[in-house]
Amino acid sequence: MYARTGPPRPFNQQQQEIHDRREAELEAERAKKAKELKDQKEQKENQKKEWPDVTVDYNRELWMDQYKKRHDKVLGESVDIFVDKFEKMEKSQAEDHLLNILTKITFVENNLTANGAQTVEKLFENLQKAPVASGEIPFKSIEELSEFLDGTYFNFRKEFDEYRNIGVQGRRWIQFIKNKLDEGVIVDEDTFHDLYAEFQESIPSGHEFARREASFDFTDLRQMGKTVPVFKYEKSTGRLELKPEAQQCVFINLPIFSDTLNSSHPSKADFSRTFDCFGIYKHTGYPARQTFTVADETAPEAKADLFLKHCSQRGKQIDQKKPPTHLFNNSAAIHGIIAPMKHLNALEVLGVEVLPLSLENNLCTGPSGKIKHPGSDELRTADFKTVEEVLNANLEKSVSSTAKLSKIN
């Protein structure tokens, strides 16, 4: 045997071809990935230009121009209906009339989106503080604003003295039910779910949250009858009925009012639209995100995400590199806001409260007289001291977010 000397033996032709092919495939994959990243960056930049952040500024002229450009078709349809059914006038006059209402709605809607649900007094105060591009804000007094809000019940709903935005699908759902009642369709507890399933068919596939969205504003017929003035819920028959004045209501009859300026804003997070529900912890994923599944009638099986970037626990910022996965092994009460156009993660959790006694650890379904202690896996006698320790330990596990709209968008 002789030791080989000199340069290493070159690849034979077949090996060289395999090597070259692999290199070419890797290079093509790298180029493809680089192009995807570049396209994503350009898409985000273009989206940012087309859809700037929602602000509280009053910019009537800009909004009127945007309504004409982005909503030209539905605005034109609404003008035609208005002239035909409500008031005979030139179409240009009718368009100006509707745009005047729409800009007021947008002004209020944006403020509620950014600042959350508010009383009419607080809302008026915030509207007065808003930067104004030109002219003056359209509301001169709290009384004038209050009258406007109560009249635009199609876009805003009052809950415990605070006004909130109504979601796009909630508005469309109202119009859908109104049209069904016009057709003579019976709307009651027996037909409610079938009608909602029919309504969902009008929503494009892939928009999973949109198919559930209306239930966050209107859970049943009784609530619709109580919240929407042109509806009446008849207890004796269990039916939802239409009041005569519904035909004179501009908002419920014109499609433009269900599709206001920022309705389709891709990154809008609406702080006036909140949810409080029971969630089952599923997993922790990238980027530092904990995912829950809604486990009550609010939106069964919908996903809700808690982003740990802005979260704190017991006053301390959560370490994103070491997220507290052990906190939510079972269930929790979750609270948050709705980002309606984020179809895959429209529910953004801002607060988590570990339930004091879960279904897996209570005196009814657990071993008789025993309770699991938070400091260990052992079961202890459920005396006052142990129960108090369990409750206090779970309260300390609560997580809250300090995120603001500018950080979320």
Task: Report yes or no on 265 lying in a domain.
Answer: no
In a domain? residue 8 = no
Q: What's the CA gap between 346 and 211, in Å, rounded?
A: 12
Q: How far is residue 135's CA from residue 262's CA, in Å, rounded to a whole number?
A: 22
Query: 219 and 275 share a domain?
Result: no
Q: Are 92 and 229 within one domain?
A: yes
Question: Measured between alpha carbons, how far is 399 from 358 in angstroms, rounded to an integer?
Answer: 17
Summarize pLDDT for 98-139 with one digit per residue, the tens. Answer: 999 999 999 999 999 999 999 999 999 999 999 998 889 999
Which band of pLDDT confidence, cut at 50, 70 and 90, is reported for residue 365? very low
Domain annotation covers residue 180: yes
Residue 9 has pLDDT above 70, yes or no: no
The answer to whether residues 234 and 116 belong to one domain is yes
Evaluate whether residue 389 is within a structural domain.
Answer: no
298 part of a folded domain: yes
**Within 240-294, where are the H helices?**
250-253
Mean pLDDT of the chain: 83
Q: Which two tokens stand for residue 268?
A: 């809008």
Angle at the Cα of 88 from the Cα atoms of 87 and 93, rounded to 5 degrees: 90
What's the gap between Cα 143 and its chain centre?
A: 30
Nearest to residue 342, comparing CAs of 296, 289, 281, 283? 289
More confident residue, 322 or 214: 214
Q: What percent of the chain has pLDDT over 70?
A: 78
Cβ neighbour number for residue 310 with a 10 Å cutoff: 16
Which residue shows structure tokens 């970037």? Answer: 309
185 and 115 in a common domain: yes
Encode pLDDT of 43-69 as tens digits. Answer: 666 656 677 788 999 999 999 999 999
CA 339 to chain centre: 3
Structural domain contains residue 227: yes
The domain that holds 321 is classified in CATH as: 2.40.50
What are the pLDDT digits (tens) for 298-317? 777 788 888 877 777 766 77
Model confidence at 357: pLDDT above 60:
no
Most confident residue range from 30-39, 203-212, 247-256, 389-398: 247-256
4 domain-assigned: no
Count of domains for the chain: 2
Whether 231 and 287 map to the same domain: the answer is no
d(CA 355, CA 284): 19
The answer to whether the bond into 356 is cis (omega within 30° of 0) is no
Q: Which of 258, 291, 311 finishes a domain?
A: 258
pLDDT reported for residue 360: 47
**159 and 83 housed in the same domain:** yes
Do 161 and 120 share a domain, yes or no? yes
Between CA 305 and CA 309, with CA 306 as vertex, the angle to 5 degrees is 130
Any residues with CB less than 8 A from the CB of 238 and at least 6 apart, and which?
188, 189, 221
Same domain, 170 and 319: no
Question: What pLDDT, on the 0 to 100 scale, is given for residue 134?
Answer: 81
Q: Which two tokens stand for residue 7?
A: 């340069």
378 occurs within a structural domain? no
Find the mean pLDDT for residues 249-271: 91
* Residue, of 192 and 376, whose pLDDT is higher: 192
pLDDT surpasses 70 at 403? no
**SS3 state at 93:** helix
- Full residue range of the structural domain in which residue 224 is found: 60-258
Percentage, residues of the chain above pLDDT 90: 46
Average pLDDT over residues 326-345: 77
User: Which tokens belong to 330?
Assistant: 């079972």
Q: What is the CA radius of gyration of the chain?
A: 28
pLDDT of res. 242: 94
Using pLDDT thresholds of 50, 70 and 90, give the confidence band for residue 84. Answer: very high
Question: Is 114:56 a contact under the CB 8 Å cutoff?
Answer: yes
Same-domain check for residues 101 and 223: yes
Confidence band, pLDDT 50/70/90 cuts, at residue 361: very low
Last residue of a domain, one of 258, 285, 308: 258
Q: What is the pLDDT of residue 52?
A: 75
Please tell me whether residues 250 and 292 are part of one structural domain.
Answer: no
Q: Is 192 in the same domain as 308? A: no
pLDDT band at residue 18 using 50, 70 and 90 as cut-offs: confident
User: Position 332: which residue type?
Assistant: A
Task: Tell me the angle at which helices 142-151 and 120-129 cross, rounded to the nearest 10 degrees.
Answer: 110
Do 116 and 198 sit in the same domain of this protein? Answer: yes
Whole-number Å distance between alpha carbons of 79 and 256: 9
Q: What is the DSSP string of 348-403?
A: EEEEEEE-SS-TTSSTTTSSTTEEE-TTSS-EEE--HHHHHHHHHHHHHT-EEE--
Predicted pLDDT at 121 = 97
Domain boundary among 229, 258, 287: 258
